Structure 1
Amino acid sequence: MSKVLIMSDSHGLTDDINRIRERHVNEVDGMIHCGDSELDNDSDALYGFHVVAGNCDFDPAFKNEIVFNMNDRRFLVTHGHLHNVKTTLMSLYDRAEQLGAAIVCYGHTHAAGTERIKDCIFINPGSVRLPRGRKEKTYAIASWSDSHTFTVDYFTTNGESVEELSFQTTFE
């Protein structure tokens, strides 16, 4: 089983980032922050995370997007503000297709949710500071296995499961 922790839009909250990382660091294969951390790239709170720049991040060391492979899955991570994600995911889908990414992690909208478009899964972990569309401050953990099952589970910043946001699909 492979697992990755995904969070976004923490807007300066280092304590929450640290608490979430410590809660899961021994059970995940990787960690992603989808931008708007409002921290510097060398911040201790972001240690161990794949991090991208959000519209509220100003450290030039952050990239607008990163692409990497993790245990047979290709990820595209971006904040989303440069792809108009508040309106549509089609620009982001086109970018994922160009890069051959099967999993897209993004933020910006502060609205937690997972969606599949064709063979691409879009994960927005919500916000650990200013959620929209629900009261819970959230992050996500995506997991997949050799059986081709892909699952995204959502949690509050206190570690409580948010069952109604859970998502599961299969890959060929």
Structure 2
Amino acid sequence: MERCSLWLTKEEIEPERLKGATVVVIDVLLATTTLVTIMERGARRVLPVESIEEAHHLKSQLDPSSTLTGGEQGGKTVDEFDCSHLLDDYMPDRVKDKDIIFLSANGTRAIKKAKNAQKVILANLRNVNAVADYLNRESTERVYIICSGASGHFSMEDYVCTSLILS
């Protein structure tokens, strides 16, 4: 990687700067850890959303028999969703070959704001070595690392994950 920029919160994201870049989104305590785990457990796709309304709208466009909604809003489970934000709700027998529409207060919003990027990679403490290896292996000219933060504030665990990737 030739150049790496770091944004410490999702509020710092400038979407127009991301065109053609590789973006690494980090939300260690929820979204990126949960979404990567859901994929490891056999989900077909994870579809991050920014609002409850967007989740319902997207679900109405997909096959209801193979789509689940999940996540949290403000740290609380969304009552009308199929699943919460906790990993126990995403066991392999429940998510295998399903589309998972997921909402979180910080991480999914950061992922959505990064949509102009050429590639979006989700990083967490469990896959930090794989992400670092990928970035070193690819001849990526521009990399942006985005810490999702917590409600507009700096998040130490996201920064620790960033430090591990860069080291």
- TM-score bracket relative to the smaller structure: 0.3 to 0.5
- Greater relative contact order (Cα < 8 A, sep 6+): 2
Q: Which has the higher helix share?
A: 2
Q: Which has the higher strand share?
A: 1
Larger Rg: 2
TM (norm. structure 1) is 0.31
TM (norm. structure 2) is 0.32
